[in-house]
Structure 1
Amino acid sequence: MSEVDEYLRFFPYDEPYDNQGEAMDRIHTSLERGQDVLFEGACGTGKTLSALVPALEYARDAGKAVVITTDVHQQMRQFVQEARAITRQEPIRSVVFKGKASMCHIDVGYEECQVLRDNTRELVDARQEEAQLRERERQLLSDAQDGEERAVEARDAVVDELENVAERVQSISSEKNVCEYYKNNLTGNVDEFYEWLFDDVRTPDDVYDFAEARTMCGYELLKEGMEGVDLVVANYHHLLDPMIREQFFRWLGRDPDDVITVFDEAHNVEAAARDHATRTLTEQTLNQALDELEETDDPRTKRAANVLRPYRDALVEVYEDSFGFGERERVGDNWEDVAVANESGRDDLTIEFLQRYEGPGYKSDLEAAVMLGKDLDDQYEEAYKNGETTTRKDCQTLQSAAFVGAWMREGTDEGLHPVVSVRRDQGTDEVYGRAELYTCIPQEVTRELFEEVHATVLMSATLRPFDVTEDVLGLTNPVTMAYGLQFPPENRRTYAVSTPALFSSARDDPQVQEEVGTALHDAVRFTPGNTLVFTPNYAEAERYAQRLRQQGDATVYLDEAGVDANDLRERFTNDDDGVLLTSLWGTLAEGVSFDGDDATTVVVIGVPYPHLDDRAEAVQQAYGKAFDRPGKSDPGWTYAVEIPTVRKTRQALGRVIRSPEDIGVRVLLDERYTQQSRSDMGKYSVRGTFPPEERDEMIDLAPEKLKFAMMNFYQDNGRYDGPPPAP
């Protein structure tokens, strides 16, 4: 039996596509060699099975486990479907894992849960010991009654011990907090649960409902049942957070080298890793820490307050000084950044803090604050464990002092960017601030993961250029493979339309709006079905939605604040002559399918660069320094702005043409997408950033020619019911 034939025991369908067979073979070989894989595959490539099938085959032979992960809910559901199909072909033991917060039956935090588990286990162990002693006492009593003299003395000792244990059971029961759900895990028959769990692939909701009906903790049952499984489906944070990852592998009962990780939608790993590495401290936490210190009778409180109060006051001073006339009143409930970093030297918050600090040395005061915080945290845990409090209190002094220490030590480190943000509290209507150490280079999180596991497969429809992905995530010599659309090319057209470049400075130009709006109107009018439109931001989506409403050729759906995106999508897809406008950086640009007749044409207006704020500038600078080498032209701009934008654009274009039967048009409205722009617009042309086979499909059009091209394409494919619109 060949290696590919061996894979087929895990392949749940008749036979793989040609590219699937090739991809499986290359991935299996890479796993045998312990090599990482970058795998780009367009819609229809069958990426999930291409990665899972060889990974499961290799893992079973090598005694390893496979963890497949995504940050997109729809993909999580897809993984469950594929795993169910696989297990009907070749039985595998699978667990679908979510965070504790979404599965807790009594809604407590992590630290409270940890204390409850400890108390509950202590109570159960004590009751088991009590039961064993009672049985021993009864046996010794029987022996004594039969005349065994030594049994009398032994029974007296057991009775004394039994009294002590019974008192301990009573003390725990009456004084300490326990979890009834977890207690039933420890004392009940869990065989029924595991028989049910591994009879199929169960979702976290399935597990929650099954456990709730039996007053058991489904989350803890999953943890206990993970050891020895073949496949785990999980969220990004189980792998990208170092502390969670260490626990996660322990639950698996595997060393990291015995784990194969698969990341889907891997173009999102960069941002997710950056978020996991970033640390924050709010003004509210600092205030709570200062209140905590006032209530604490310890000589170290003065030193702790001596360092935390000036940091809090400096934070307030920095963001208050940033407000211009009327700006404070306009602060909303989303975080808004205040730039504090300086090109040379320390940031504004640090400078303000050092000016306000008075004492023998902030470092020694911080050390005292951290030690006091650790002691207080231990006291809070003991109090909750002993039932003196009904909730497990968090130590705000420890959190605050640890963050301030990191800020002062690491604030000038390469790749870290200090930021201050403000928002309005919806409850109190008060404005408050936050300090943040923003991580610019995500490989500080991802490199360690890739080095410690056996191998990783990163897959997405938009991973190229591979060398950029390697640099940003810290991969070393991965195997790379890319497969384009497998669907009939005659079923689709991609038009690059030479409307004026929609630079931010040109968006308010009436002539530019007229030319872009006319081309968009033509695209909508000549689409036999629904049109999906992506714009640089929500303001532009609203602008062109208003124009389309005035023209009245289609029902206009606008993605905007206060509108549920899922409800909006459903209303749009139920239509047959609608146009949906949204931001390219919104929730509908990726991870959401518009299958079949849901959307026939997709239009991207402009080159939707992200908002170039202080953070984006910091990432550009960090990338520019980290990846500046011969042959790399402006890596800061290329890595941080241009390539992420083109990836998002490619994701948006992929919302249509989802099957071999789909027929549709993709329209890029901006001259920067055209071939001519490569010579006319220099670095602002993005045509060359697309993969070669996608560039080859792009047909350059003058704006006035778009309607004729679309009419001819859809008419040739018999898509109009009756005559087409008049040009």
Structure 2
Amino acid sequence: MAAEYDQFFPKATPYEHQAEAMDAIAAALEVGRDVAFEGAPGTGKTLAALAPSLAYAREHDKTVVITTNVHQQMRQFTAEAREIHAETPIRSAVFKGKSSMCHIDVGYEECQVLRDTTRDVVDLETELAELRDKERRLLDDAQSGSESAAEKRQSILQEIEAVEEQIEELEDQHTCKHYRENLTRPGDEFVSWLFDGVRTPEEVYSYAEQRGACGYERLKEGLNGVELVVANYHHLLDPAIRTQFFRWLDRDPEDVIAVFDEAHNVEDAARDHATRTLTENTLEEASTEAEEVEDSRSGGAIRIFDPFREALIETYEASFDFGDREAVGTNWADVPIANETGRDDLTVAFLNRYEGPDITADLEDAIKLGIVLDEEYETAYREGDADTRRESQTLQAADFIKRYFEKGEETGQYPTLGVRRDEATGEVYGRAELFNCIPREVTESLFEEVHSTVLMSATLRPFDVLSEVLGLAEPKELAFGLTFPEANRRTFAVNVPPLFASRREDPGIQEVVSNTLRDIVRFTPGNALFFFPSYAEAARYYDHLEDIDGSTFLDEPGVPVEERRQKFVSRSDGVMFTSLWGTLAEGVSFDGEDAQSVAVVGVPYPRLDERSQAVQDAYDEVFGDREENAGWRYAVEIPTVRKTRQAIGRVIRSPEEIGVRALIDRRYTTASRTRMADYSVNTDFPPEERRELVDVEPEKLKYAMLNFFRDHDAWDGEAPHP
């Protein structure tokens, strides 16, 4: 191992591929090159990325920011950072959002005002103390006979009186006692404590709470010179947050090395950060807000807001057939508004209702009014005239509508509506949305700005598609499959009829799948984990297999699964039924005997709707010159196979573990490449994974599993008989 980074590798020796990866990443960092790093689950990707990154950061005075969107991975990063710190002390910080660390539970805008007012009070108190000290010295000089000192003292006394009046006014306003503690007491003790280990946000909160201080602000204040930061995706993917975040780090973008874990999720996360929404309720509040102020610009704002809101309601109401309104649930449901003849239905409905002289001028008036109102709300809260810091609904609505009209027809922008039912009132209401289909509009600028980026995951390939979609410029490509003994695992492609959505109700197909799953349960000497295309399919087969010998567990949407997961892994005969699109498919390890077989039932394509089609269309337009059917392959097929690979990677997490992975659908088989080439997904797997796929007929699977587990003496007693 190279001496430059071995001090940051806390294990006795690296796996062979870890050493190779660290050498490659170190070389890429030297020239500011990005890295696309795929490594099988359980093979040490995090340390392989962190060790050379920390070494380079220390040598060149940079900061490593490692991010994830999976909570369990945040805890894992913290644990691994502690391992590194135990060998070589590093200055590190673990970040969460402000809302999870606020001691008085206020929003961002309120916090900003509280900080500003508190700082003003403390600054004035400091000034007052200095003036009083100066006045005392002048008094001594005056009493000693100095006439000039007496004159100067009178001037100082006038200044003292003015400052006291200012402080008295500010004391009636909102301040934060926790932040005041930060400003009036040095934070050296906190910084020493922070960097004496690797502290979690919960530990920072507790430490500060015991001392009456603000842990979040203390953490921000202590970031200067930090070498490693653990954070969420939004700290890097949201442009506004990123700018602030780098300012807290006291780093220019080129002084940051960004590491993304579970990087196959960056595509969707980037879309989310670029998407904008506006609810019907916000429009109503904006209109009311504008009506209540005496301002010449109010008329323009109202001429925009009222017809836009009426058009929004008219458009989603027109989409309802008989019974649709009653079926609206509490989650947002899309109402497509694309219009092949021109602008979308919402825009057309708005234009038909708008009666003002000039849309552009009215929108500018609305934005200017919103800015004025937002400043007034901040002043009112600062001065104690309001208990909360209001946000201007006028500004929010006007900003969205302006963007909607200016960007809505651009490539990759997908205007749509959504409806949901308010849980409290039971009323149905809607929102307008401008969905961004092209994630590289968010990520490409980030990759260009920072020194280097390391994107790592167990499922990044094909690298060329990753680079195109995210805007990576010729990254160093690293791929390491499972290096654990191949004899300890079997991966079967089970030749059941293709489980197309249109055939899932077929009783014959359900019987074949049920029997196959029964065989997996019976011939697994431990727990079995089953992934399905949806929660509904998971529930279907949970019911079909209710009579099996074993403890069955059903993961349901909207229900926390951790308690069920704990009960499942505590069993030796457990069977978990879940969705491949749920929380158990990635970022959750089933180590040791937690699960000894895993099956993916069908090719679990996500629900294909108009939004999905919009992404496909955008990809076809942007990437169509590279590959035929780029939209389908880039936007649907490859992400689905990545998800499948993530799911089967939940087992076999160490060299000693044994297990079976089963892909239950003809489209996975090697034979499908010739017999049903238009539907086969076999070739979407990396070459080394394809080589391990063993085609097997469903009725033969039990024999194959029996032989495998019997060869490993996996049963405590007698093995089952086929």
**C-alpha contact 1:556 1:579 (8 A) present in aligned 2:** yes
Work out whether 1:333 is the aligned partner of 2:330. Answer: yes
CA distance in structure 1 between the aligned counterparts of 2:408 and 2:348, rounded to whole angstroms: 12
- Give the one of 89, 92, 100 matched to 2:90: 92
- Secondary structure in structure 2 of the residue aligned to 1:588: helix
CA distance in structure 2 between the aligned counterparts of 1:581 and 1:724, rounded to whole angstroms: 24
- The one-letter amino acid of 1:650's match is R
Work out whether 1:449 is the aligned partner of 2:446. Answer: yes
CA distance in structure 1 between the aligned counterparts of 2:88 and 2:562, rounded to whole angstroms: 35
- C-alpha displacement at 1:563, in angstroms? 3.4
Alignment partner, residue 553 of structure 2: 557
- Secondary structure in structure 1 of the residue aligned to 2:678: helix
Q: 1:252 to 1:328 in 2, by over 3 A?
A: same
1:603-618 matches, within 5 Å, as 603-618=599-614
Alignment partner, residue 225 of structure 2: 228
- Give the one of 639, 649, 656 matched to 1:654: 649
User: Number of paired residues?
Assistant: 722
Alignment partner, residue 264 of structure 1: 261
- The one-letter amino acid of 1:542's match is A
**C-alpha contact 1:532 1:602 (8 A) present in aligned 2:** yes
Alignment partner, residue 459 of structure 1: 456
- The one-letter amino acid of 1:543's match is R
CA distance in structure 2 between the aligned counterparts of 1:93 and 1:564, rounded to whole angstroms: 35
- The one-letter amino acid of 1:8's match is D
- The one-letter amino acid of 2:104's match is I
- The one-letter amino acid of 1:654's match is G
Structure 1 unmatched runs, 5+: none
The Cα offsets for residues 475-497 of structure 1, whole Å up to 9 and x where unpaired, read as 01000000011211111000001
CA distance in structure 2 between the aligned counterparts of 1:641 and 1:260, rounded to whole angstroms: 30
CA distance in structure 2 between the aligned counterparts of 1:11 and 1:543, rounded to whole angstroms: 47
Alignment partner, residue 570 of structure 2: 574
Work out whether 1:677 is the aligned partner of 2:672. Answer: yes
CA distance in structure 2 between the aligned counterparts of 1:603 and 1:565, rounded to whole angstroms: 19
Alignment partner, residue 253 of structure 1: 250
Work out whether 1:627 is the aligned partner of 2:623. Answer: yes
- Secondary structure in structure 1 of the residue aligned to 2:47: helix
CA distance in structure 1 between the aligned counterparts of 2:46 and 2:417, rounded to whole angstroms: 40
Work out whether 1:720 is the aligned partner of 2:715. Answer: yes
Alignment partner, residue 108 of structure 1: 106
CA distance in structure 2 between the aligned counterparts of 1:466 and 1:412, rounded to whole angstroms: 30
- Give the one of 501, 506, 510 matched to 2:503: 506
CA distance in structure 2 between the aligned counterparts of 1:56 and 1:35, rounded to whole angstroms: 16
Q: 1:99 to 1:594 in 2, by over 3 A?
A: same
CA distance in structure 1 between the aligned counterparts of 2:10 and 2:146, rounded to whole angstroms: 68
Alignment partner, residue 357 of structure 2: 360
CA distance in structure 1 between the aligned counterparts of 2:615 and 2:594, rounded to whole angstroms: 37
**C-alpha contact 1:322 1:338 (8 A) present in aligned 2:** yes
- C-alpha displacement at 1:19, in angstroms? 0.9
Identity of aligned residues (%): 61
- The one-letter amino acid of 1:149's match is E
CA distance in structure 2 between the aligned counterparts of 1:343 and 1:188, rounded to whole angstroms: 64
- Secondary structure in structure 2 of the residue aligned to 1:374: helix
Q: 1:205 to 1:411 in 2, by over 3 A?
A: same
The Cα offsets for residues 379-402 of structure 1, whole Å up to 9 and x where unpaired, read as 111111111111111100111011
- C-alpha displacement at 1:147, in angstroms? 2.0
- C-alpha displacement at 1:91, in angstroms? 1.2
- Secondary structure in structure 2 of the residue aligned to 1:66: strand
Work out whether 1:376 is the aligned partner of 2:379. Answer: no
1:515-526 matches, within 5 Å, as 515-526=512-523
Alignment partner, residue 668 of structure 1: 663
**C-alpha contact 1:44 1:486 (8 A) present in aligned 2:** no
Q: 1:459 to 1:344 in 2, by over 3 A?
A: farther
- C-alpha displacement at 1:562, in angstroms? 5.4
CA distance in structure 1 between the aligned counterparts of 2:341 and 2:68, rounded to whole angstroms: 39
Kindly report the root-mean-square deviation, in angstroms, between the aligned alpha carbons of the 2 structures.
Answer: 1.0
Q: 1:382 to 1:46 in 2, by over 3 A?
A: same
Work out whether 1:695 is the aligned partner of 2:693. Answer: no
CA distance in structure 2 between the aligned counterparts of 1:416 and 1:159, rounded to whole angstroms: 63
- Secondary structure in structure 1 of the residue aligned to 2:424: coil
Alignment partner, residue 424 of structure 1: 421
Structure 2 unmatched runs, 5+: none
- C-alpha displacement at 1:561, in angstroms? 3.6
CA distance in structure 2 between the aligned counterparts of 1:216 and 1:311, rounded to whole angstroms: 46
Q: TM-score, normalised by structure 1?
A: 0.98
- Give the one of 697, 704, 707 matched to 1:709: 704
**C-alpha contact 1:549 1:555 (8 A) present in aligned 2:** no
- Give the one of 559, 582, 585 matched to 1:586: 582
1:42-441 matches, within 5 Å, as 42-174=40-172, 176-441=173-438
CA distance in structure 2 between the aligned counterparts of 1:562 and 1:575, rounded to whole angstroms: 24
Q: TM-score, normalised by structure 2?
A: 0.99
- Secondary structure in structure 1 of the residue aligned to 2:545: helix
CA distance in structure 1 between the aligned counterparts of 2:497 and 2:180, rounded to whole angstroms: 67
CA distance in structure 1 between the aligned counterparts of 2:275 and 2:20, rounded to whole angstroms: 39
CA distance in structure 2 between the aligned counterparts of 1:636 and 1:683, rounded to whole angstroms: 15
Alignment partner, residue 10 of structure 1: 8
- C-alpha displacement at 1:704, in angstroms? 0.7
CA distance in structure 1 between the aligned counterparts of 2:191 and 2:711, rounded to whole angstroms: 57
- C-alpha displacement at 1:412, in angstroms? 0.7
The Cα offsets for residues 422-476 of structure 1, whole Å up to 9 and x where unpaired, read as 0000111100001000000100000010000011000000000000000010001
The Cα offsets for residues 4-50 of structure 1, whole Å up to 9 and x where unpaired, read as 12211111121211111111111011000000000000123211111
- The one-letter amino acid of 1:168's match is Q
CA distance in structure 2 between the aligned counterparts of 1:703 and 1:13, rounded to whole angstroms: 43
- Secondary structure in structure 1 of the residue aligned to 2:585: coil
- C-alpha displacement at 1:344, in angstroms? 4.3
The Cα offsets for residues 238-272 of structure 1, whole Å up to 9 and x where unpaired, read as 00000000010011111111111000000000000
**C-alpha contact 1:44 1:487 (8 A) present in aligned 2:** no
- The one-letter amino acid of 2:168's match is Q
The Cα offsets for residues 681-709 of structure 1, whole Å up to 9 and x where unpaired, read as 12310000000000000110011100000
Work out whether 1:471 is the aligned partner of 2:468. Answer: yes
- Secondary structure in structure 1 of the residue aligned to 2:175: coil
- Secondary structure in structure 2 of the residue aligned to 1:576: coil
- C-alpha displacement at 1:90, in angstroms? 1.1
CA distance in structure 2 between the aligned counterparts of 1:221 and 1:523, rounded to whole angstroms: 53
**C-alpha contact 1:494 1:666 (8 A) present in aligned 2:** yes
- Secondary structure in structure 2 of the residue aligned to 1:14: coil
**C-alpha contact 1:124 1:187 (8 A) present in aligned 2:** yes
Which one is further off, 7-16 or 709-718?
Answer: 7-16
CA distance in structure 2 between the aligned counterparts of 1:85 and 1:29, rounded to whole angstroms: 24
- Secondary structure in structure 2 of the residue aligned to 1:15: coil
- C-alpha displacement at 1:597, in angstroms? 0.8
CA distance in structure 2 between the aligned counterparts of 1:110 and 1:369, rounded to whole angstroms: 24
